[in-house]
Amino acid sequence: MPPPGRPRFRNLMTGADPHVLTKDRIAVLGMGALRRTPNFVITSIISVGSRIMARRPNRAIRLWQSNVQLVTGTTPTRQDTRAAIASWSRNLMDSIRLDRWSAERVRRTVLISDEHRQHLLDGRDSGRGVVLALPHMGSWDLAAVWGSHTGLAVSAVVEQLGAREFEFFSIARQSVGMRLYSHRDPGALRSLGKDLAQGGIICLMADRTFSPHGIPVVWPSAPSLLTTKMPGGPATLAQRHHVPLHAVWCHYEGRRMVIEVSERLDTPDREQSMAELTQRICDEFDRAISQHPTDWHMFQPFVRRRPAAASSGGAR
């Protein structure tokens, strides 16, 4: 039996006027072709493509190199760059086809310790839900699909690009039981609150903000004082609904993917500011990125350097 939503994928490929090739439709046509491509061909494309692109990095790859160097103090080698391109490509290819994966394949691919799994189950079993803040590392989509197959009610806010592209990814995720909300949806926070009230697991990408009103944070491992802004959504939801807040990150180990979950970041018996909670998320992300920089898919402008003199008196 074909996975739910498969006919709707075909509708996206054609659309009202199949002769008009918008950027959005071209992206969907390309992803549709990749869904039908055999695994061994995909593996070859990733291997060859990452080699070529590492030798001649484009602007996005140079931005990744700069981001890693600023955050970790280490200059990525060509081998590191190749590994980062391959990691990003693997995430993209898997995301396009995750609705075709069986629950058994997902479980075989994902590694998570009993201790880290328990952090998620505690939130579910309490009936109050849990908020998870994630960086763009490994395959966050695979992590969410794993959660859905494990019996967790997963909700997520995702970046809405083109309308067709957004619907393409939405179909695949909704077919495995996830609830999705666009970052442009003004009612998203309210809907997430309702999901939390039902014991839901809320996954929010949190290492980059779309808004100029993000929370300033300082990256602790950077060789010089480095600030950026992160979204306040995870801290806001956790505080407003009095639910646990954890950071979660993913990285690849061979053919497997590891999910790691931090200890609870909020302190139940002490009120904390949004800035304090967001900085704690940043601290966890900093540690994860320092350990697995090639699995951090930050190919966009990310950080800005602030002179130490301008921040004297405690940037934290």
pLDDT tens digits, one per residue of 13-34: 455 455 555 665 666 666 667 7
Mean pLDDT for back-to-back runs of 10 residues, the chain (316 residues):
44 50 64 72 86 93 94 94 96 84 92 93 83 95 88 83 67 77 82 90 89 86 84 92 94 96 88 92 96 96 56 35
Nearest CA among 289, 315, 294, 290 for reference residue 226:
315
**What is the token pair recorded at 123?**
């939130």
Instruction: Give the domain ranges of the chain.
Output: 6-306
Q: How far is CA 120 from the centre of its chain?
A: 17
**Contact indicator for 247, 285 with CB cutoff of 8 Å:** yes
Counting residues of the chain whose pLDDT is more than 70, the rounded percentage is 82
- Please tell me the predicted confidence (pLDDT) of residue 51: 92
C-beta neighbour count of 57 within 10 angstroms: 16
pLDDT tens digits, one per residue of 244-265: 999 999 999 999 999 999 999 9
**What is the token pair recorded at 107?**
């479980």
Report the alpha-carbon distance of residue 104 to residue 154 in Å, rounded: 18
**What is the token pair recorded at 74?**
């280490």
- Please tell me the predicted confidence (pLDDT) of residue 315: 36
- Please tell me the predicted confidence (pLDDT) of residue 57: 93
- Please tell me the predicted confidence (pLDDT) of residue 1: 35
CB within 8 A of 283, min separation 6: which ones?
Answer: 220
Mean pLDDT across the chain, nearest whole number? 83
- Please tell me the predicted confidence (pLDDT) of residue 310: 36
